[in-house]
Amino acid sequence: MSLIYRKRLALVPLLVGLVLAGGACRKDEGPERLARAEASYAALVERGVPPRDPAWDAVIAELESVPRDSKARPEAERRLAVLRELRSTPPPRRPLSRPGVPDGGSPSLDEHGHPMDGHAHPR
């Protein structure tokens, strides 16, 4: 064998080792992305922004951008599940009464929203 061929053969394992080591030392971006999403999450909660508001789309996108192989992915998945559940839950019904108004402020409707005209209504 020639000297050049032997030197090339010696370089192959070295190059393979460097490529594998470079892949193993790759930085996990998941915790940084999760931290940014949590900061946005906390700011929206503090401001009282409802879950259906479009402002939450940025938080959802940031949580979804956490890499699947990241150690932060399970927490991102939990947050995403909570946000999706909150967005799919219908808002509570509007109350018929108003605080501070005598008799609740709605003497013309019963607790089911039917008119109270003294007649029995079929149910």
Q: Is 50 helix (H, G, I), strand (E, B) or coil?
A: coil
In this prediction, residue 27 carries a pLDDT of: 81
- pTM equals 0.54
Three-state SS letters, 65-123:
CCCCCCCCHHHHHHHHHHHHHHHHCCCCCCCCCCCCCHHHHCCCECCCCCECCCCCCCC
Q: Is 62 helix (H, G, I), strand (E, B) or coil?
A: helix
**Tens digit of pLDDT for each residue in 38-48?**
999 999 999 99
